[in-house]
Structure 1
């Protein structure tokens, strides 16, 4: 025996149930209190059942309006065919017709008109009194139900369109806010990584120049010259970022920063000018335009942290490509115990920026203490860096 499929009935909401219940009470009460005389049959069990069945068709008015109309009109026609007075039974049919035009589509409306015409014809033909004089009233009431349903449908569509427009406007506003926050975050990272690095280098070079000014004036002079060069670079970088903040000035639009391996060497030279030895190994790797900035900023921030949090020791920068991944290692060996400040392992803004840059390029970054120092390790997709 095959399992039977569950039978699903249309859902009923409270409003439709209340409306159907009220019409049931009104229809039955009118039939009992004011029964129609001859040639109609007296009120009996059949009349009561039909008086209940017609309004109950409105239980599915919202979920299945055409079904409600068919059931309501069927109760009306059967009541007429059995010789009973219809009483209030036309009202459930008119309400269902209204709902078909208020909530239904084109096919539902066409079918509703056909059902209403058939029901009206059956009523006029089967009613014992043959109330042809009632045809204008029936047509007028049906027309009112159709027009009211159409107006209700238009209001519903207009409200839905307005709600969609408001939702789209809110979505656009949220998207614009997210873009604004992303742009603010990007500019904050640029300011932190670029100007923070430059200011750190200037402070370190100024400190070295001050300490050796009396004993080695030539080196102090070189430090001042380097400070001047780095300062000009900082001004250029600041001007580029300010132009990004003024996109309406088309003539002054800044070009995208696309660093190369030569720029990495310049970074290393800045750190060497502070007295720290820097080893740079690119292993024949050339940066492409897409991921060059992220890699450059990661190296820049790693070098800045190295000179900021330790006073001596070698710094190694190693860049290589393995299969479809580009590997970057920046190791700060620090200084001898007791000579330098301990390497800072607290995740600050710089480490957060480096991890975010790697994540945005589809890579990952790890940073932490190792034997004798601190190491920054980043892996980026090969699509951001290609072999020379």
Structure 2
């Protein structure tokens, strides 16, 4: 069981056990109170929350395509319909008696609990295309079939529970038709198993924890104990408020918190998407404007006659400007969710292709870095590959991203002319080396250059 889902689920189970034990073991607590108004309010609240969360899950399914989201939406929709909504429908069709008005909501609730349990076991699976439409209409088909069957059997359905409320509210009254008690037991088992499974399979998602799924564990734990209380103290009296009603409403309150966090996450992602789209627009502007113009200047400069050294300096300046512009395009137009190895490979490939050099890569995709580190590593990669080709006269460069002594390491190797790092720093200033070293130190990394004239160069950053 993951830490992200175990603590709230444990608290949900602890609360359910504590309330049930207190009712069973303390003669001074009553399991039912006469309050018709409050009973109606709680029923309306539970139905509203169930339908809201079902709607949010359908929205998630439209984006993720996960079977889990669709089954959860179906299950919660049936649980919501089994409340006031179904009661109103039964009244309209004349089936709101003590038989059809009891058995149909109970049956619909069992199907809803079974769908919740099935959802907890599907995790990230996706349904086959042919099942999309049938699963979406499953709740409505269930209710329709239930109404038809209830109408057909309306005269032969058994009495679920005596109509007279219990005289004492201090002791369990496990009574009623065996089918009613079995339905409560099955529903409780489904919710309990779903609670444990959701807690065990809760996983982070992009942009943070999946709070809605994380809170399903405690929500269904409380729902399970609500059904246990209904089993001990059957609740079919709208004028009485039972401990099962309170536990059920508490479970929906937990779902409401999850729904609020889901809505907040959605709008946060919308804002991030808007920012990313704007960044991509700026990246396109840079690419179509500055980068194209710099490329044209470089091409024209290479054909000019005149002092070779001056032309070489202008070309070098153009190359640096192109690197800066392309780095800005990458920083603006790319998502931070891309694997680090993929980003570094793309940066090195852009430089190598410009000089018609070959590139070999050996990348560990499990290595990650934060945004600042990624930016610095990209710039170091570009500079090291450019230096290997332009100054080292190497036609082949090797890029490696791996782990060394429990630390992450980036290496750029070539088989070019090599150089004396001490001499370069002393006589030429070593601007490129100094820049790479400063970038490495900004990410609290160690920068090393291993090079010998005639034997190639290895630039490494370990962080």
TM-score by length of 1: 0.32
Q: Which has the higher helix share?
A: 2
